Amino acid sequence: MKISEIYVTVQLVNGDLQLATVTNEIVKKILYPIGSSRIGVVLIDTKRHLGIEKQAIPILKKLFSESGCDGDGFGDIDWYKMNDGKFTFGWLGPNTVQWNPKTFKEADRSAHAAFQEGEYQTLDSTSLRLINTKAKIERKKKKKIQPVKTEMISWRGGEMEFVCKDSEESKKATQPPWYVVEVSGGVWKDHYWYSWIDYHGPPKVFLTRRFASEHAKSMRKQYKCQARVVPIGPISKEKK
């Protein structure tokens, strides 16, 4: 086992089962943390990249055995074999989640999800400590923010925030219509929802149709679903 190749850990923290990414950045063809159009975490090739604390193995098995079946859609937790023979592990929600074993029955998994024996690396206390230290350092890294106009309105306490380079852009940004992306089909079948800021948050709202269309395109490509741009806000002035 190479510690540097572990990108997701499962461990016990104060009695709870914790699932966490080692980094918040995408590792191409391996790790896809929450962000952009993703509403959860996806790890590919668990045999090499998933590390489970020895004491957490029976607890993770319990989560899969006690969770309910949510059909063919994405579940709160997933672990299944792909067409290329590799196994994929993932969950809905942020990059770090904790489950109280008493609430396992409240969780949902997809019909094909199950605990996959042998498709992971077992972590001893020393390996886990090294990985946790690496994860702590990774999370402290800050991205360099470019001084460009924001293309999304963030919802904070009922108010909309506009981040722009100058007053002219600010004036343009506050003029409706704005846009959201409606998602349906694919793994969601006939269920309709709007692309979220995060798992628990409100919808993403885009200032321009172009950026909303790009987001819809990425949703269709990643989730094999239907995604359409919907204008919101007053889209025409009333005649006086």
Structure tokens given for 48: 């090499």
What is the pLDDT, as a whole number, of residue 22?
94
Structure tokens given for 164: 């722009």
Helices (H) and strands (E) in the chain, counts: 5, 17
* CA angle, 37 then 114 then 51, to 5°: 75
What is the pLDDT, as a whole number, of residue 156?
40
Query: Residue 82's CB: how many other CB atoms inside 10 A?
Result: 10
Q: How far apart are CA 151 and CA 158, in angstroms?
A: 18
What is the pLDDT, as a whole number, of residue 34?
81
What is the pLDDT, as a whole number, of residue 194?
79
Structure tokens given for 159: 């108010």
- Residues 227, 213 contacting (CB under 8 angstroms): no
pLDDT in tens, the chain (240 residues): 788 999 999 999 999 999 999 998 899 999 998 865 567 899 999 999 999 999 999 999 999 999 887 655 567 889 999 889 999 999 988 899 998 999 898 888 888 889 999 999 999 999 999 999 988 888 777 554 443 344 444 444 444 444 444 445 445 555 677 788 888 887 667 777 778 755 555 677 877 778 788 888 888 887 788 899 988 876 554 444
CA atoms in the 13 A half-sphere facing the CB of 119 = 18
**If you compute the radius of gyration of the chain from its CA atoms, what whole number of angstroms results?**
20
Domain ranges of the chain: 3-140, 152-232
